[in-house]
A and B are shown apart, each in its own frame.
Chain A
Amino acid sequence: MIYKVISKPEFKAFIDAIVRVNNAYGPCQVEIDAKGKPIYQFKPVKSADEISFDYTVTHSSAKHFFLPFRDELSSFTFTDGNWEQEVRYDAPPTILIGLRPCDINAINILDDVMLHGPYPSPYYLARRKNTFIIGMDHLPLPDCFCKSMNRHTVNHGFNLFCSDIGDRYYLSINSANAFSFLKEFKIEEPSYEDNCNLIERRKSIKNSFETNVEVTGLPVFLDIEFDSPIWQKWGDKCLSCGSCAMVCPTCYCYSVEEKFDIDLKGSSRQNHLYSCNLVDFAQVAGGHNFRPRNGDRLKYRYYHHYRGFAANDNQQICVGCNRCGRACLANINPKDVINDLRLERESCTTCVSTSPEKT
């Protein structure tokens, strides 16, 4: 890692230069909501002026740049009695600007799932290798809880990371590419004061969190609470709409569909991102649904995120961005669900066997 500082106007000029000639995406204000608050999304940008550098957080994560909502896995051409398969890993070079530490941590988690298992995904790898990530720090929103998940700082997984230290950015440069781009611009060695400012900035970010979700020992706790009535209580609210999983930076479940061309001369195999909250997620051939109740489906999303599955070494995959909580129309969010579970347990420390029967 190389550390430099750059003035804000010079940084903007640098960003402008790279987005003009590249396929780039950055945070843009797309709407003002009914309460007068701006809504941001990662959108294609062609100049630095289109980017909201002082944005808060995007409504949807940057996940779909690596795991598109719909993606062709392979295409087939049929000849008389035979067929040929074509697989393509196309990934145009892409620059992503303004990702938050939790967003980059989320991509690092996806790396573990997609690249470090027994069957690495070449589709994911192609996109990951061809994406240049510029991170930026920010003061947390009142409902951000990435600090609870220990995902509020990041030290790898990006090409360049910018910490806002007042009139300039403190740059952590993590790739040769990034450094050679930046050399064309006026960058300086960090002064003693810059270093102090960086430490101050980190402290102030750390101390600005208003939401804390107690996750120590949560995996074991979740194992114990498998039959808790809390799941159905929250499940009863759930609309099974999948919005939480779509906006989440680490939900990676997908379903695979085969689609014939209308002339029957070929077909395409596509995957599309799905959600364990959707009604037929656990429905199998023959029609049996292993999780017909929304409480069971909701529970599995929480288990995947806070207990972890073997496929990702039982690590918690939630980074604490609370995008799911903001998107949920039924007011379901990790903080309230986890607190509710903990409360339920704490209020019955003496009784042993009140769990309802499995149904």
Chain B
Amino acid sequence: MNHLGFKLDKVKVGSFDFTCCEGCQLQLANKESTLPEFLGLIDIRNFREISSERHDDYDIALVEGSITRSDEIERLKAIRAQAKVLVAFGTCACFGGVNSLKNRIPQEEAIREVYDGKKIETMPSMKISDIVEVDLSIPGCPVSKDEVERIMVGIVTRSAVSLPKYPVCVECKQKLNTCLFDLGEICLGPITRAGCDAVCPTGKTACLGCRGPAEDINFPSFEELVLDRKLSISDMKEKLGFYNGFGDYLDHES
């Protein structure tokens, strides 16, 4: 590839799924309008949703899903050893995601409920950074393809990559949405990292914080807001716990 007179190499990418729905990887595979260009930018070495070829010489590893079994830990460590850049890809990988809901109940109970008591090895859901060092996080349930494309372009062209530091409210206001707090609902928009174009509030559903906390959030003021509007603190905690992105703030509680 030639870009403005500079020679650029395609980056070698491997994509791997752990405990998850594979929705984030699917985001990359199913945006057909830009798929050829996207594949022109990278060299897919390992990505089961896109190609049956398997190679182990990738430089960038997109790691999707959370860790819930001991064999996953070994597999993840091997990926870390190979990858120059390891990306926690999606909410499950970044925070533990919806899978973490099971961490609230005894594991035997979860197995009984879901697998009807079959012998299943499972442990509480962990985020990728609980096991290995993560170089870059791309949150979202699922990830935003636009954001992934922007970041990939940044990596290929060696330019700075970053996520918005401000909260979802900025994007929500730009959509001229009616604030869900004014409709009597708790929305995590004021403390959640923007970048999703406020899809949930735009569809009149509260933000559940899948992108995790924005930079330097004011949690006490957010709690104050919930109380001030006479909304329920337990409802707030339920929402904060949904994707497991706000553990730091929930633990300081109660």
A interface, CB within 8 angstroms of B: 30-31, 33-34, 39, 41, 59-60, 64, 69-70, 78, 80-81, 83, 236-243, 246-247, 259-264, 273, 275, 278-280, 292, 294, 327, 329-331
Contact = CB atoms under 8 A, between A and B. Distances in A.
Most buried by A among B174, B220, B228: B174
B153 A260 contact: yes
B21 interface: no
Nearest to A280: B165
A263 B37 contact: yes
Nearest to A281: B166
B5 interface: yes
Given A236-B221, A280-B165, A262 B41 contact: yes
Contacts of A275: 166, 170
A327 B170 contact: no
Interface stretch (B11-19, B47-55, B180-188): B180-188
Nearest to A78: B4
B150 A259 contact: yes
A275 B215 CA distance: 15
Interface of B: 1-5, 8, 34, 37-38, 40-41, 149-150, 153, 156-157, 159, 165-167, 169-170, 173-174, 176, 178-179, 181-184, 189-191, 214-218, 220-222, 224-225, 228
Given A31-B183, A239-B222, A329-B181, A278 B170 contact: yes
A83 B34 contact: no
Contacts of A260: 153, 157, 159
7 contacts: A39-B182, A80-B2, A239-B169, A241-B169, A243-B179, A259-B150, A330-B224
Contacts of B41: 262-264
B179 A239 contact: no
Contact of B178 (A31, A83, A292, A331): A31
A329 B165 contact: no
A241 B170 contact: yes
Contacts of B157: 260, 264
A60 B191 contact: no
A70 B218 CA distance: 26
Contacts of A31: 178, 182-183
A246 B170 CA distance: 7
B224 A262 contact: no
A60 B176 contact: yes
B34 A262 contact: yes
Most buried by A among B1, B170, B189: B170
Given A33-B183, A34-B184, A262-B149, A242 B178 contact: no
Nearest to B168: A241
Contacts of B150: 259
A239 B184 contact: no
B38 A30 contact: no
Contact of A279 (B176, B181, B214): B214
A34 B169 CA distance: 19
A70 B171 CA distance: 10
A70 B8 CA distance: 30
Nearest to A237: B221
Given A33-B178, A259-B150, A263-B37, A242 B183 contact: no
Contacts of B221: 236-239, 330
A18 B93 CA distance: 54
